[in-house]
Amino acid sequence: MFDVLILGGGVSSMSCALVLGSANNKPFVSNKKIGVFTHQKTSALKEALFNNVYGIPAGTLGADLLKESTGHLLEKYPHITQIPNEKVLKIEGTAPEFAVTTNKKTYKTRIIVVGVGSANTFAIEGLMPSVEPHQKSLPEKQRIQLKNSDHKVKEGIYVIGTLAGWRSQLAIAAGSGAAVATDILTLWNGGIQTHAHDSIR
């Protein structure tokens, strides 16, 4: 049983995983089992070039960021389970116990974070009733989002990045993932507002 499963290996998902991973020294996180599906085959980042993102050198390719993010997560936070090469097909159940079925197996988890792209080919069974047209994308792009209130689709299910209705800017997607990670940390900390920072002090 996972405490949280993050669906997607793009910017928002990896940002969420990194923030949760960095909080491992907090007593209310140390015993949590965290997993992330790092399926990146259809990520829009594969065609991206970044010249305008704070902290990222100009000319960085999105494809390189995808590779670096999984390596960074493995090196710094090896306690987080990376699940590669599996595509999520179905979500069943209600909080606090969900079943996430992929093309290979089924996983149990208490919390789900959905960070896959906003293409209209989205087809995760169990989430389709929450699909609506993307509110911040041009109609001709035919993007979709999941209905949510401050990233929450319903109890135990969060959505991040462009699928949460945000614009497709890397910095916005990363912030969305980090925001949900801190919401989950706050939940695990008994409702006390919580975030995770590293410091050289």
Instruction: Write out the two tokens for 144.
Output: 């979709």
Nearest to 94 by CA among 25, 155, 50: 155
Residue 50's φ and ψ, nearest 5 degrees, are -115, 120
In angstroms, the CA 23 to CA 113 distance is 17
Element (H, E) at 106: strand 106-109
pLDDT score of 107? 98
What is the Cα 108 distance to its own chain's centre? 17
pLDDT score of 181? 98
DSSP output for 135-177: TTS-GGG--EEE--BTTEEETTEEE-GGGGT--S-HHHHHHHH
pLDDT score of 40? 65
In angstroms, the CA 166 to CA 23 distance is 25
pLDDT score of 171? 95
Q: How does pLDDT run along the chain (201 residues), one tens digit per residue?
A: 999 999 999 999 999 999 999 999 999 999 999 999 997 666 778 889 999 999 999 999 998 998 899 999 999 999 999 999 999 999 999 999 999 999 999 999 999 999 999 998 899 999 999 999 999 999 999 999 999 999 999 999 999 999 999 999 999 999 999 999 999 999 999 999 998 888 888
pLDDT score of 47? 87
